[in-house]
Amino acid sequence: MKLGKIAHACIVVEDISASADHYSRLFGIKHWYELVRTSDLDLYYKGEKRNSDVKIWLGGKGHTAIELIQSRGDENLYTTYLKDFGEGIHHLQYYVKYLKKAIAEFEKEGLQVLQSACFYSKGMKVDYVYMGKDEHSAAFELIEATLPGGIKKGDLPFEILLGRLTGNMKRVK
């Protein structure tokens, strides 16, 4: 399977606002944008539905973004990571056009689905999974984003700019 560019590197954090300040100073990120969800997050961890409030902010320059994730509520992959390792780099993310096909390819290489979720953002349906050997190994996030009309977004450059233009991202800092 050929993947495109890494769309973002994610850091799981306890306090998203304080962490955004820290990473702004460290990396020179001037603005942060929150992912706008227009539906509840349908999240499954260890095969079970979880009630988790997940806040996602993106910032960066050029093609690769830094994602910050803060999670509250039921145990999930993020809270487990924080408990086991503390704040840190959690995963690398790639966009795919066909999520089921990508999952099958990753499974052939010995990886498994660690967590999955689905939500809507301004008419766009977002399905994603985290793949890894286990909860303590490197994780890869695969996202299938479907635009209104059934168009698969795939790997587009300038994710934050596109999100600002469509309303999927709102500036928070």
pLDDT digits (tens, 9 = 90+) for 102-151: 999 999 999 999 999 999 998 889 999 999 999 999 999 999 999 888 88
Within a domain: 81: yes
Give the domain extent around 164: 8-171
45 forms bridges with which residues in the sheet?
48, 115
pLDDT-based confidence at 97, cuts 50/70/90? very high
Q: What is the pTM of this model?
A: 0.91
Contact call for residues 14 and 26 (beta carbons, < 8 A): no
Q: Is 82 helix (H, G, I), strand (E, B) or coil?
A: helix
**29-82 pLDDT tens trace:** 999 999 999 999 999 999 999 999 999 999 987 777 999 999 999 999 999 999
> 14: exposed, middle or buried (C-beta count within 10 Å: 0-12, 13-18, 19+)?
exposed
Within a domain: 72: yes
| CATH number, position 117 | 3.10.180.10
* Number of domain units in the chain: 1
Q: Cα–Cα distance between 37 and 163 in angstroms, integer?
A: 12
